[in-house]
Amino acid sequence: MILHLLLSTLLIIFTDSASGTTAAYPSLYGEESCGVNLTPHRREVYGNGRIYDISHRYTVDMPAFESLDGVGQFLWLPKSLKNGSIANNSEMKLPTHTGTHVDAPGHFFDHYFDAGFDVDTLDLDVLNGPALLVDVPRDENITAEVMKSLHIPRGVRRVLFRTLNTDRKLMFKKEFDSSYVGFMKDGAQWLVDNTDIKLVGIDYLSAAAYVDLGPSHLVFLEGREIILVEGLKLDDVPAGIYDVHCLPLRLLGAEGSPIRCILINS
Ligand SMILES: *[C@@H]1O[C@H](CO)[C@@H](O)[C@H](O)[C@H]1NC(C)=O
Ligand SMILES: *[C@@H]1O[C@H](CO)[C@@H](O)[C@H](O)[C@H]1NC(C)=O
Ligand SMILES: *[C@@H]1O[C@H](CO)[C@@H](O)[C@H](O)[C@H]1NC(C)=O
């Protein structure tokens, strides 16, 4: 009887570690703490409400553009302590426009791509500084009319647009949803012509509405001044003025990059 118990326990331990060798970070949320208090503290807010993390956590189940299956496995552990290695070393493979990410001008303009307008050339002064988090009307995409109705004053250079996408928790749904809210071409054009906004943040995978995917991106990126940060996590953050800090990776030759963005209460 005892032997039987012992054997099945051993079997469970064995299968656990076996699955852990293929899927990296099997205990992502620390639920397999085995009775030992080794549970990491994952947070969305730091410093007693001073710092909001507005980047999404990368997971296999997060949505990917036009995919029903989500991002899928993107992380492996080719060298592990369990494998006789001296340390754990993971490897990742990820489309550059995954999760919370930034677009460089080369994303929609081939001649900009060829000329080298990659994420390494993006202006950190645009990506860091005072920013406005605004709620847009929930019943339409971002048109010129909507932009006008927001009354964003001249001089405001960074705006994060919170939309119905946040209410619908779209970034937490594996299946891509083309009915997300984004900029219509005339909304993008209105922003370019009538505001000083250079950082445009949005809460789903594209700043452009699906029906105006090409046209809106072209309007935004043509001047090579506006930076699009997409897939932001704007849940549970009060609307208002913050200091935003966004840092893309210095990926030479890439027209997109994962980006870590935070809001600091100023
Ligand atoms: C262990 O080594 C094999 C062979 O090199 C490799 O395929 C496997 O991914 C390694 N990692 C783990 C965690 O087992
Ligand atoms: C190394 O990775 C394994 C998963 O294969 C994990 O169980 C172990 O805790 C890791 N070790 C360290 C030191 O992080
Ligand atoms: C926004 O546009 C998409 C198509 O790109 C559409 O499916 C969706 O219903 C629109 N959303 C709203 C709130 O009008």
Beta strands in 59-123 (DSSP E): 75-79, 89-92, 101-103
Tens of pLDDT, residues 203-261 = 999 999 999 999 999 999 999 999 999 999 999 999 999 999 999 999 999 999 999 99
- For residue 30, the model assigns a pLDDT of 46
Ligand 1 centroid to residue 252 C-alpha, Å: 30
Best probe residue, ligand 2, of 32, 38, 81, 91 (max atoms within 8 Å of C-beta): 81
DSSP secondary structure, 207-251, as one string: SB-GGGHHHHHHHHHTTS--EEEES---TT--SEEEEEEEEE---
% of the chain residues with pLDDT over 70: 87
* Centroid of ligand 1 to alpha carbon of 93 (angstroms): 17
Structure confidence by residue, pLDDT tens digits, 174-184 = 999 999 999 99
Model confidence at 88: pLDDT above 50: yes
Q: Is the CB of 146 under 6 A from ligand 3?
A: no
Q: What is the pTM of this model?
A: 0.85
Residue 120 amino acid letter = D
Average pLDDT, the chain: 89
Domains and CATH numbers, the chain: 2-41+73-92 (no CATH), 101-264 (3.50.30.50)
